[in-house]
Amino acid sequence: MTVNTPLCFRGKNILAPMVRVGTLPMRLLALDYGADIVYCEELIDIKMMQCKRVINEILETVDFVAPNERVVFRTCERERHHVIFQMGSADAERALAVAKLVESDVAGIDINMGCPKEYSTKASGF
């Protein structure tokens, strides 16, 4: 288990989690413009559990790739100490499994257990 330095949110500029917006290019752009902490878009635990962690040497990224070869989550060393992985989950065991999958590549993990958006409620069974 990797232990990261605790994040302090007081007085920080934070890119909030946004559906279909919090991808790696946007997070890096936010860091370029002064964000201290950036969130990825909400990713559903069931989808992440199917992923394989792959080092992409060409892009110098860490990719979490679904069985259909689609990249579900992509991160890189530059944002490692700034990115919060947000997952939608309604199951503690699945949430823990996904947290263990990504823990060495992110600064923190946020579990969304109550988003009222249809996107979240349908996918996670809240």
Q: Determine the pLDDT at residue 2.
A: 54
Q: Which amino acid is it at 78?
A: R
Q: Is 34 exposed, middle or buried (0-12, 13-18, 19+ CB in 10 A)?
A: exposed
* Domain residue ranges of the chain, discontinuous segments joined by +: 14-118
- What is the set of active-site residues? 115
pLDDT band for position 116 (cuts 50, 70, 90): low
Q: Determine the pLDDT at residue 18.
A: 81
Mean pLDDT (whole number) for 6-19? 88
Q: What is the pLDDT of residues 14-51, one digit of tens each?
A: 998 888 889 999 999 999 999 999 999 999 999 999 99
Model pTM score: 0.86
Residue 1 has pLDDT above 70, yes or no: no
Q: Determine the pLDDT at residue 98.
A: 97
Q: Is 71 exposed, middle or buried (0-12, 13-18, 19+ CB in 10 A)?
A: middle
Q: What is the pLDDT of residues 58-84, one digit of tens each?
A: 999 999 999 999 999 999 999 999 999
Query: What does the DSSP assignment read for 53-120?
Result: EEEETTTTEEEEE-TTS-EEEEE-GGGTTTEEEEEE-S-HHHHHHHHHHHGGG-SEEEEE----SHHH
